[in-house]
Amino acid sequence: MKQGIYILFATLLLVSCSDFQKALKSEDVAKKFTMADELYEAGKWSKSKRLLDQILPKYRGKPQAEKLTYMHANCSYEMGDYYIASYHFDKFTDIYPQSEKAEEAAFKAAKGYYFNSPVYSKEQKETVEAIEKLQLFVNQYPESQYLAEANTLVKELDFKLEKKAFEIAKQYDLITDYKASIKSFNNFLLDFPGTSLRDEAMFYRFDASYNLAILSIDQLKEERLKDAIGYYNSFKKAYPNSELMEDATKMNQELEQELSTFTKS
């Protein structure tokens, strides 16, 4: 029984492939249209797109062009080719701004940019572009059914930029470029006032300032000790119950002890 089912399935597959190849080679545009539509509805994106590539130019200016243009863009989207999909969805919304598919196309164009955003450790040009595209979509369609998802994607991308900036500042601390680390963390706290990494950022800013003070030459040490204690006080005021407070307090005690030698002299 199972063998019979396998044979039937294989036969249908061969027939389907044969029909597709015939349509692909055919000069009958209507036949290609029908086959492309059937393959699209069946989720056969790659095959449908191959036929759409052939017939789309022949339908330009005709009533079917709108549907075919959307299908063509969506095939790339479903195949994960987001650079191409976003380009074609943007083109679709430019040509058919009044289409019932315009909102969906605009969202998928923006979401395509989101998918192209790399991990936070890499260059974030695509991330910035994705945020801009999604924000434009939100501004254009403030009542959209995709609004909640768009806002979620923007938050995720924003955090990626935060994480990138945070790790750069932290890296300066690790390579003992403490001045650069302090400056980077100050910029980070200004640029991302609502960040979930604020607790850690304020601690590592203090940590960098602590190291800078402890390792300073005598002529600069007193001022830097006072600066570091100031960063500690800011951290303690903002996050008195932080898990990092115990370490910070021990470091601050050392700073106070060092500073006392200047006051006594």
Q: Are 120 and 85 in contact (CB under 8 A)?
A: no
pTM across the whole model: 0.81
The structure tokens 């089912």 sit at 5
Full pLDDT tens readout for the chain, 265 residues: 445 444 434 334 443 567 888 877 777 888 989 999 999 999 999 999 999 999 999 998 899 999 999 999 999 999 999 999 999 999 999 999 999 999 999 999 999 999 999 999 999 999 999 999 999 999 999 999 999 999 999 999 999 999 999 999 999 999 999 999 999 999 999 999 999 999 999 999 999 999 999 999 989 999 999 999 999 999 999 999 999 999 999 999 999 999 998 866 5
The structure tokens listed for 136 are: 């434009």
Q: In the prediction, which pLDDT does 61 show?
A: 87
DSSP three-state, residue 234: helix
Contacts of 109 (CB under 8 A, 6+ apart): 85, 86, 89, 90, 93, 133, 137
Phi-psi region at 14: left, alpha or beta (left = phi > 0; alpha = psi -120 to 50) = alpha
The structure tokens listed for 54 are: 């052939």
